[in-house]
Structure 1
Amino acid sequence: MMSAGIRTEGGGELYTRLRQQQLISAFGREALRGQGLKELLQEASRIAAEGLGTSLAKVLQHIPAEGALKIVAGVGWRSDVIGVVRFGTDLESPAGFALRTGAPVISNHLGGEGRFRTPRLMVEHGVRRAVNVLIRGEAGAPPFGVLEVDSRDPSEDFSESDVDFLQALANVVGLAIDRDRDRRDRDLLTREAHHRVKNSLQIAQTLLRLQLREVEDPEARLQLEQAARRIMTIGAVHERLFSGPAIGQVSVGTYLRGLVEDLRNSLGVGEGGRPLELELTALGEMAVWDGDRVTTLGLVVTELVTNAFKYGRGGVLIRLDIAALDGTGTLVVEDGGEGPPEGYDQVRGRGLGMRILATLLRGGALVPEWPDGGRFRFVATLPPAVSAPSS
């Protein structure tokens, strides 16, 4: 951070203005990186103070319901100020005047100022001068609030050039706020869309369960049960798409544990029955994938586990070994059965489940194995993601 001597170092006024432009440019790059709004407002406060050679700055957000300006970010203030202290929005407050009129406010002699009263917080911190500018968003939208810089030093006045710097900084903040608002609006719509899809899938699953009550043919009942499980698998992804680490992203470990529990219930695996276990490597626990990729994984697991309980014996083990963050790795589903005859080509098999697996694993592979110890397993090689998922 620059010292309070910014106006006299390295060439005086010209140096000051060049440095201010550098600060705005650097802040613009930070804003483009898409960091959180809270962090961005804090950085704007720091940049504002540095650019005007002081140690005090703050961002005040307009809270219409309270008729107040709340300090939501700042530097140089007591630890109990940010997020707590509020100023009035009347014209006798410098920040309130800027908010009401949209005009910048320079007050270089707060102690003798006839236009405004000095808020108690600023008196307690020894503030002698202040400059305020409005933080605007998109045209027609209410202003977000005010960006203010304060100084304890009465010897050098804030100038119109300082206002220009501060307003340019506030304009970048306004653009970042607009983008954050747009992102939150999109997230809300995305959440609502996934919620509706999840509800529709639940209705479809319920209808299939009701249909099961009317069907006596064992093969038809089996097909309806498998269809219901596939719908359950997809619905579980949509449920977690708007409750995961980020919109559209799902924690693989959390999802698989929930899916295993759902499969235990739908397959009737209870106390004393055939156990269904899950093992994850460290990367499997850490992985966060997009919804499409997790849906594929869930459907593959569902088909293989259903197949193991239908044709296998003993306990069923699911093991996911992710070798890289792009999702490349293997999925093993193992049971105590003998499996199909060696040489069986599951890709050409006529069963719907195997045809589904062949479609889902394009770019990967599904290989039957007969390890020593009287067990059988399917080993699915997962195709890599199109691009590495966020983590």
Structure 2
Amino acid sequence: MPSETARELRRRLHQQQLISAFGREALRGAGLDGLLQDAARAASEGLDTDLAKVLQHLPGEQCLLIVAGVGWGPDVIGVVRFGTDLASPAGFALRTGAPVISNHLGGEGRFRTPQLMVEHGVRRAVNVLIRGEAGAPPFGVLEVDSRDAQEEFSESDVAFLQSLANVVGLAIDRDRDRRDRDLLTREAHHRVKNSLQIAQTLLRLQLREVEDPEAKRQLEQAARRIMTIGAVHERLFSGPAIGLVVVATYLRGLVEDLRASLGVGDGGRPLALEVTPASEEAVWDGDRVTTLGLVATELVTNAFKYGRGTVTLRFEIAALTGGGTLVVADEGDGPPPGFDQAKGGLGMRILTTLLRGGGLAAERPPEGGFRFVATLAPPPAGNGG
């Protein structure tokens, strides 16, 4: 086999390996910025040059902005813009959708050479369009430049570059879909939170009109339950990802809310929170945190109604299963002998429903006082949150 043919074959095989590796990276869900940089790096390596760049179309500014690249200084990426007119090689690719090969930029009659490329001694360039789903505006252009005037870019090089650009287009579609879903999710949770706040306000207004102590107590407890659920929706976007909540942060906020709603501020009975060090970083999804918050609200309210002294709420994650234990203790004597949880009031019935898959135990520790120990079930298989 002639040496030139063998060299060309090795080049094409290497390009295919680069496309395959880049595709795997894209499938892993890497961030778009990093993926654009990887695309420029793969393009540069595949065409054996040290200059490549990704240009994003900014329709409002009628320009192409360099958003990723290799071989360019820090004053170029995110700063330098090219025109989108047909006299610009990248602009031509953007407007026509056709790849552009210019192996003799200095003698080109079709295009002008951008000043940046003149300053870097670029002699030839190849551009392909980055496009996502059909009907969507193109994202921009993937371009490779070379200072070497002896070689020439070929149609095979265009095919390699277009393959990379197509993978980028798919990643852009996925990123756009994710951002659209996130926006819709944020809006939905925002509306739910507002609705819960309205419901809580209406209950508080109704409380002013109620004179019966038992009815007033029931309305107050209902308002606290709504507050607990609303607090979850408020914190669903402060966690490490949308829909996930750092449990310790949520519980600290809930305790502050309970102090206010139960009227146990300065001079009242203390309400303390303990979170074990191993549980500080625990992250749960919104449904599980809602269950945790409702259980805590029921037990703390119960302790203030029937118990004495300091009320302590303690949370510990079960490292092996991902479940959790919530202990609410006070200094009182607890329920009377013969107390049956199954025959308790509405609060106990709510707890029984919430703690399915877990459990609730009443304990009288040796040091005195009383505590309820709620065991929250681990997440379903395959759901780490």
Give TM-score, length-normalised by structure 2: 0.96
Quote the Cα distance in structure 2 between the aligned partners of 1:340 and 1:10.
89
Answering whether residue 218 of structure 2 is matched by residue 223 of structure 1, we say: yes
Task: State the match for 2:229 in structure 1.
Answer: 234
1:300-334 deviations in whole A, cap 9, x for unaligned? 11011101111111111111110227532311111
Q: 1:33 to 1:73 in 2, by over 3 A?
A: same
Separation of aligned partners in 2, 1:324 and 1:80 = 48
Distance in 1 of aligned mates of 2:51 and 2:320: 44
The worse-fitting range, judged by mean Cα deviation, of 291-300 and 84-93 is 84-93
Q: Secondary structure at the match of 1:11?
A: helix
1:319 match: 314
Quickly say closer, same or farther: Cα 1:316–1:388, change in 2 above 3 A: farther
C-alpha distance 56-332 of structure 1, shift in aligned 2 (>3 A): same
Question: 263, 272, 280: which is aligned to 2:267?
Answer: 272
CA drift of 1:287 comes to 1.3
Greater displacement, 84-93 / 210-219: 84-93
**Structure 1: distance between partners of 2:32 and 2:131:** 15
Paired position in structure 2 for 1:293 = 288
Q: Which moved more, 1:162-171 or 1:77-86?
A: 77-86
Name the counterpart of 1:72.
Answer: 67
User: Are residues 1:386 and 2:368 paired?
Assistant: no
CA deviation vs aligned residue, 1:26-67 (integer Å, no higher than 9, x gap): 111111111111111111111111111112111100001111
Residue 352, structure 1, aligned to residue 315, structure 2? no
Tell me which of 329, 337, 340 is aligned to 2:332: 337
Structure 2 Cα separation of the partners of residues 211 and 325 of structure 1: 46
Map of 1:50 onto structure 2:
45
The CA deviation at 1:138 is 0.9
Change (3 A) 1:257 1:389: farther
Counterpart residue type for residue 108 of structure 1: N
In structure 1, stretches of 5+ residues that fail to align are 1-7
Q: Deviations over 1:176-195 (max 9, x none)?
A: 10111111111111111111
Find the counterpart in structure 1 of residue 36 from structure 2.
Answer: 41
What does residue 373 of structure 1 align with? 367
> Shift in Å at residue 117 of structure 1?
1.7
State the Cα distance separating 1:127 from its structure 2 match. Answer: 1.7
Deviations 1:336-389 (A, max 9, x none): 11111355332x132111111111111111111111232211111111011465
> Is residue 2:263 matched to residue 1:252?
no
Contact 1:316–1:333, Cα closer than 8 Å, also in 2: yes
C-alpha distance in structure 2 between counterparts of 1:106 and 1:386, whole Å: 55
CA RMSD of aligned residues (A): 1.7
Cα deviation digits, residues 79-114 of structure 1 (max 9, x gap): 121111111111111111111111101111222222
Which deviates more, 291-300 or 280-289? 280-289
Secondary structure of 1:12's counterpart equals helix
How far did residue 128 of structure 1 move? 1.6
> What percentage of residue pairs aligned between the two structures are identical?
80
The one-letter amino acid paired with 1:236 is A
Q: Measure, in 2, the Cα distance between the counterparts of 1:9 and 1:279.
A: 73
* C-alpha contact 1:136 1:145 (8 A) present in aligned 2: yes
Partner of 1:22: 17
- CA distance in 2 between counterparts of 1:339 and 1:48 reads 71
Q: Is the 8 A contact 1:46 1:74 kept in 2?
A: yes
Aligned to 2:113: 118
C-alpha distance after superposition, 1:266-306 (max 9, x if no partner)? 00111121111111123322111111011000001101110
* CA gap 1:100/1:80 in 2 versus in 1, 3 angstroms: same
1:206 aligns with 2:217: no
Query: Could you say what secondary structure the match of 1:196 adopts?
Result: helix
Give the alignment of 1:178-193 within 5 angstroms. 178-193=173-188
Q: Matched residues in 2 for 1:387 and 1:121: separation?
A: 55
CA deviations 1:127-171 (Å, max 9, x no partner) are 221110000111111100000111122221111000000011101
Tell which deviates more after alignment, 236-245 or 56-65. Answer: 236-245
Q: Distance in 1 between matches of 2:381 and 2:121?
A: 54
The residue type paired with residue 112 of structure 1 is G
Amino acid across the alignment from 2:114: P
Query: Which stretch of structure 1 is more off in the superposition, 378-387 or 298-307?
Result: 378-387
Moved more, 294-303 or 110-119: 110-119
Distance between the aligned counterparts of 1:264 and 1:229, measured in 2? 11
2: CA distance between counterparts of 1:355 and 1:183? 39
Q: Is the 8 A contact 2:269 2:311 kept in 1?
A: yes
CA contact 1:283–1:323 (8 Å) conserved in 2: no
Distance 1:84 1:9, change over 3 A: farther
Cα separation, 1, equivalents of 2:4 and 2:281: 50
2:356 corresponds to: 362
Q: Provide the rounded CA distance (Å) in 1 between the counterparts of 2:278 and 2:153.
A: 55
Residue 147 of structure 2 corresponds to residue 152 of structure 1: yes
Number of the residue aligned with 2:157: 162
SS of the equivalent of 1:317 reads: strand
1:296-307 counterparts in 2 under 5 A?
296-307=291-302
Counterpart in the other structure of 2:94? 99
- Structure 2: runs of 5+ lacking an equivalent: none
Is the CA contact 1:89–1:100 (under 8 Å) kept in the aligned structure 2? yes
- Read off the aligned partner of 1:364 and give its amino acid letter: G
3-state SS in 2 of match to 1:286:
coil
